[in-house]
Amino acid sequence: MSTIQFQLNGAATSVDAAPDRTLLDVLRGPLGVTSPHFGCGAGECGACYVMVGDRAMASCDLPMWSVADKDIVTVEGLGTAEQPHPLQRAFIAEQAMQCGYCVSGILISAAALLKRNPSPTEAEVKAALDHNLCRCGSHNRMVRAVLRAASQMAAS
Amino acid sequence: MSTASPAPTLPVSLAANPKLSSWVRLIGEGRIAISPGKVEIGQGIVTALAQIAADELDVDIIRIEMIRASTATSPNEGVTSGSLSIQQSGRALRHACAEVRQRFLVAASERLGVDASLLEIDDGTISGPGNVRTSYWELAGDVSLDHDANAGATTKNFAKRAIAGHSVQRVDIPDKVFARPRFIHDCALPGLVHGRVLRPHVSGAKLIALDEAAARAVSGLVAIVRDGGFAGVVADSEAAAETALKALRKGATWSAGEPLPDENDLAGFLKSQPVETYVIDTRMAATTGKPIRTLRRQYTRPYIAHASIAPSCAMAQWAGDDRVHVWTHSQGVYLLRADLAIVLKLLAENIVVEHMEGAGCYGHNAADDVALDAVLLAKAAGGRPVRVQWSRQDEMAHAPFGAAMAIEVEADLDADNEIVGWRHAIWSNGHAARPGRAAQPALLAATEIANPYPRMISTNPPAANGGGGDRNSIPLYDLPAWTVTSHRLLTMPVRTSALRTLGGQGNVFAIESLLDEIAALRGEDPIAFRLRHLCDERAKDVIRAAARRAQWKPQKQSGTGHGVGFARYKNTGAYCAAIAEIEGTDDIRVKRLTLAVDVGEAVNPDGVINQIEGGAIQATSWVLKERVRFDRMRITSTSWTDYPILTFSEVPAVDVEIVQRPEIEPAGAGEAAHGPVTAAIANAVYDCLGVRVRDLPITRAKIIAAMELAS
């Protein structure tokens, strides 16, 4: 057990955890942050993505030691109903989901994309989401939502 | 006024649950609770039902609070499946709400002293001449809804509907984008502990010995549970439960398993098993043309996994040793309760089963299985609630699969290559082994406990419910003669149950592929050929709409191909036509799918489009990529690497047109696209490459094999 400190959604956070415990387990367990979802436990589906710095990463196989002093953002930190992130607004506007279980990971991948590329093409959006699986078939709506958010961010 | 029949009858769900208050209740100021027996499984049903209720009651939809199904309070509507929720729950709610509205009008008339026919309702406020007004909530004390529904209640004429028939935003989506816990996976009950179950990697292997010592040493362990071949752990965190399970697995001794079929010869396997054979339908023509030759074709599809993004999850909490509360994402809370009662030897009344949303559900997955797992593990948790979540590996290996199918179709052709006879024969396991419908339970752990129940061999729903392996096997086309035969396997080495469309996808693939082949043989346009064999105008309309929208038939270009597929789901539900545009030489890509759909009244048109888009994309994934893999001992496709599905870059553009028919009773949209899209892609492959691939999935290897066979 060791004390690991990092930034979580802008707030200094400190947890006592075994260094090899996964970030997903710590987020969902002691920290009660439920937007990153368990899907496969092997980094293959994207449901558990969180932003580490500017990158979307699977938190299900990310050991706690590796996030020390890092800046972690989950959907809880993207925006709220009162102050939504443009992506959140766009996902509602496009009704971009069916079950929605994969959506938090996809919002994170999209947010990371828009940070490094504020005006992506459709192909770039798809490429950025290729590590996120959606089983319900809402892909095209999600791509439209990301493009909509990008154009709104450019306009504002 | 609506189309009242001479002898009115209640909608089926309302007849089974007639008390109005079980569907509609006034709660608080300005709020109305609507309590359907159907559940949200990612299809948007809760929103569509809220629209129907709001419309019929004349209130804004934001006043409606949708209540999750629970055996404690909800009407029993069986299972949320078969694209029937709008038909069953929607009709019941429309009828119940119409009667509630009428009862309030009568009460308002008495209170205000105004004839009911002069009163109007606007967002729950009832007003009349002379500026008199009251509201549902003011009258709540005057109107009891603890009455049985009256078959004579009159629902609104479709032309007067202001909410149903118009696209509205889904009520569940804001929670899901703002990370407000809504999924069962995210629910934190006070005192919650975590369970995991030990399942074999070898198919059919049974636990015969277990050394628990290493697991007992795991920090955070609450209990180890062993009941015959069922074993699991309970711990105070998920991580501890995983660690304990890993330790337990090292101490497990398993029996030899049961052999699995040859995955490369599924048709040979299916056709060599003992079967129950029945004739689904036969039609004899008074006169038919003289058959000159017969085309004989075999179509196959593999086992297909549900492969929800979330592994199945449930929670259970015991009160004493004879009462248990279960939280589940099952499709049928009452049906699950019935099976739990059998296994636990408890009265059903002692068990409450409450629905919470899970990830997208495409049929009978492991939701029910994990609920029994949670109930069994929670027995050892001293009254604390236990949450059990399956591993990805167990989800892909132990949940039921959609059944593999071999379908032989023979078409007798006359001298003009017109069809004069048609024989369609299906070999498949049954497509349903759902809980709650038999004297024995269908739940996985029930086959593992000390006094185990046999594994339920899947059967087929009756024709009246759309059939199972035989679903959509009777041609909708006006062929002069046919015989349709179903052979249901009596063995089941690979566990199967209901997956979207049941046998519909396979049967539509077979029928539409052979029709396409015959049209090509005749040199006739495949759409003209289909239209010529259909007399149902709704069927023709969706085909014509899809053709128009896709600008059929685009000029042939090298390396591209177009194909069409059509079906009416279950031959009684939604009509759907699909046109696929593909490109490629041996490895194909689906570029675009154009669909037209007629569900009758589309209650939430954007919801219908979303379901059709989703069905089309999922079907594309099935057709191009999906196949449950196994060797002779174990299921091997237990990860996303071994069971790949369509990715964002591979997803085609999908364009959907709704043929709106607001005057016709609504049908569900969730399963309409799979069969037509499957056939459209296969037919586009022929158009593009000149070969027919009759063995799904249509992979590069299958295309090359078909090319070699053709050359």
Nearest to B398 by CA among B455, B472, B450: B455
Rounded Cα–Cα distance for residues B234 and B194 (Å): 5
B618 touches chain A (CB under 8 A): yes
Rounded Cα–Cα distance for residues B468 and B502 (Å): 6
A98 touches chain B (CB under 8 A): yes
What average pLDDT does chain B have?
96
> How do residues B196-220 score in pLDDT, each as one tens digit?
999 999 999 999 999 999 999 999 9
Query: Does B460 map to a domain?
Result: no
Query: Does B252 map to a domain?
Result: yes
Which of A88, A94, A95, A104 is the best residue to mutate to test the B interface, defined by the most B CB atoms within 10 Å of its own CB?
A95
Rounded Cα–Cα distance for residues B50 and B206 (Å): 47
Asked if B162 and B196 sit in the same domain, the reply is no
With beta carbons under 8 A apart, name residues in chain A contacting B637: none
With beta carbons under 8 A apart, name residues in chain B contacting A125: 648
* pLDDT confidence bin for B440, thresholds 50/70/90: very high
Return the beta strands (E) in B548-631 as ranges.
560-568, 575-583, 589-598
Query: Does B227 map to a domain?
Result: yes
DSSP assignment, residue B155?
P
B249 touches chain A (CB under 8 A): no
With beta carbons under 8 A apart, name residues in chain B contacting A9: none
A141 touches chain B (CB under 8 A): yes
When pLDDT is averaged across residues B491-505 and rounded to a whole number, the result is: 98
Q: What percent of chain B lies above the pLDDT cut of 70? A: 99
Nearest to B558 by CA among B707, B701, B706, B687: B687
* pLDDT confidence bin for B5, thresholds 50/70/90: low
Backbone angles phi, psi at B352, to 5 degrees: -110, 125
CA-based nearest distance A100→chain B, Å: 6
CA-based nearest distance B174→chain A, Å: 7
- Closest residue in B to A41 (Cα) is B392
A156 touches chain B (CB under 8 A): no
> How do residues B151-166 score in pLDDT, each as one tens digit?
989 999 999 999 999 9
Q: What is the pLDDT of residue B25?
A: 97
* Contact status, residue B239 vs residue A21, Cβ threshold 8 Å: yes
CATH number at residue B485: 3.30.365.10
Asked if B102 and B150 sit in the same domain, the reply is yes
Asked if B161 and B224 sit in the same domain, the reply is no
Say yes or no to pLDDT of B2 above 60: no
Say yes or no to pLDDT of B558 above 70: yes
With beta carbons under 8 A apart, name residues in chain A contacting B311: 38-39
Q: What is the pLDDT of residue B553?
A: 86
Asked if B120 and B246 sit in the same domain, the reply is no
**Is B177's CB within 8 Å of A102's CB?**
no
* pLDDT confidence bin for B653, thresholds 50/70/90: very high
Rounded Cα–Cα distance for residues A135 and B360 (Å): 7
Residue where one domain finishes, among candidates B143, B177, B211: B177
When pLDDT is averaged across residues B341-356 and rounded to a whole number, the result is: 98
When pLDDT is averaged across residues B423-450 and rounded to a whole number, the result is: 97
Asked if B214 and B338 sit in the same domain, the reply is yes
Asked if B58 and B199 sit in the same domain, the reply is no
**Is B610's CB within 8 Å of A98's CB?**
yes
**Is A44's CB within 8 Å of B639's CB?**
yes
A130 touches chain B (CB under 8 A): yes
A154 touches chain B (CB under 8 A): no
Buried b (16+ CB within 10 A) or exposed e, B425-463: bbbbbbbbbbbbbeeebbbbbbbbbeeebebbbbbbbeb
Residue B64's H or E segment, with its range, is: strand B64-66
Asked if B527 and B635 sit in the same domain, the reply is yes
**Is B309's CB within 8 Å of A102's CB?**
yes
When pLDDT is averaged across residues B498-512 and rounded to a whole number, the result is: 98
Q: Model-level pTM?
A: 0.97
Which of A80, A98, A113 is the best residue to mutate to test the B interface, defined by the most B CB atoms within 10 Å of its own CB?
A98
The answer for B142, left when phi > 0, alpha when psi is -120 to 50, beta otherwise, is: alpha
Say yes or no to pLDDT of B424 above 50: yes
**Is A140's CB within 8 Å of B615's CB?**
no
Asked if B195 and B54 sit in the same domain, the reply is no
**Is B177's CB within 8 Å of A103's CB?**
yes
Number of structural domains (chain B) is 3
B190 touches chain A (CB under 8 A): no
Query: Pick from A21, A75, A99: which is nearest to B42 by CB?
Result: A99
Q: What percent of chain A lies above the pLDDT cut of 90? A: 99
**Is B613's CB within 8 Å of A44's CB?**
no
Say yes or no to pLDDT of B444 above 60: yes
* Contact status, residue B410 vs residue B423, Cβ threshold 8 Å: yes
**Is A42's CB within 8 Å of B357's CB?**
no
Backbone angles phi, psi at B562, to 5 degrees: -130, 145
When pLDDT is averaged across residues B311-332 and rounded to a whole number, the result is: 98
Say yes or no to pLDDT of A1 above 90: no
Nearest to B643 by CA among A130, A135, A47, A125: A135
- Closest residue in B to A32 (Cα) is B188
Asked if B689 and B562 sit in the same domain, the reply is yes
CA-based nearest distance A69→chain B, Å: 23
Query: Does B676 map to a domain?
Result: yes
A103 touches chain B (CB under 8 A): yes
Query: Does B540 map to a domain?
Result: yes
The DSSP bridge pattern shows strands B221-227 and B230-235 to be antiparallel
Residue where one domain finishes, among candidates B153, B177, B201: B177
Q: Quick one: CA dihedral B166, B167, B168, B171, positive or negative? A: positive
Asked if B392 and B410 sit in the same domain, the reply is no
With beta carbons under 8 A apart, name residues in chain A contacting B185: 34, 37-38, 101
Asked if B413 and B559 sit in the same domain, the reply is yes
Question: Residue A155, Cβ neighbours under 10 Å: how many?
Answer: 7
Say yes or no to pLDDT of B167 above 70: yes
Rounded Cα–Cα distance for residues B485 and B488 (Å): 10
Rounded Cα–Cα distance for residues B104 and B102 (Å): 5
User: Range of B86's domain?
Assistant: 12-177
- Closest residue in A to B236 (Cα) is A29
Query: Does B576 map to a domain?
Result: yes
Query: Does B445 map to a domain?
Result: no
Buried b (16+ CB within 10 A) or exposed e, B146-161: eeebbbebebbeeeeb
Which of B183, B309, B329, B625 is the best residue to mutate to test the A interface, defined by the most A CB atoms within 10 Å of its own CB?
B309
Which of A31, A73, A99 is the best residue to mutate to test the B interface, defined by the most B CB atoms within 10 Å of its own CB?
A99
* Pairs of residues, one from chain A and one from chain B, whose beta carbons lie less than 8 Å apart: 163
Asked if B387 and B409 sit in the same domain, the reply is no
The answer for B53, left when phi > 0, alpha when psi is -120 to 50, beta otherwise, is: alpha
> How do residues B588-631 score in pLDDT, each as one tens digit?
999 999 999 999 999 999 999 999 999 999 999 999 999 999 99
DSSP assignment, residue B90?
I
Q: Within its chain, how far is the Cα of B541 from the centroid? A: 26
Say yes or no to pLDDT of B287 above 80: no
Name the CA radius of gyration of chain A, rounded.
Answer: 15
Query: Does B462 map to a domain?
Result: no
User: Tokens at residue B117, please?
Assistant: 């026919």
Q: What is the pLDDT of residue B516?
A: 98
Query: Pick from B172, B183, B640: which is nearest to A40 by CB?
Result: B640
Residue where one domain finishes, among candidates B177, B204, B234: B177
Say yes or no to pLDDT of B288 above 80: no
A9 touches chain B (CB under 8 A): no
> How do residues B460-481 score in pLDDT, each as one tens digit?
999 999 999 999 999 999 999 9
* Contact status, residue A15 vs residue A3, Cβ threshold 8 Å: yes
A134 touches chain B (CB under 8 A): yes
- Closest residue in B to A24 (Cα) is B239
Q: What is the pLDDT of residue B7?
A: 74
- Closest residue in A to B310 (Cα) is A39
Q: What is the pLDDT of residue B1?
A: 43
- Closest residue in A to B613 (Cα) is A137
When pLDDT is averaged across residues B390-418 and rounded to a whole number, the result is: 98
Backbone angles phi, psi at B518, to 5 degrees: -70, -40
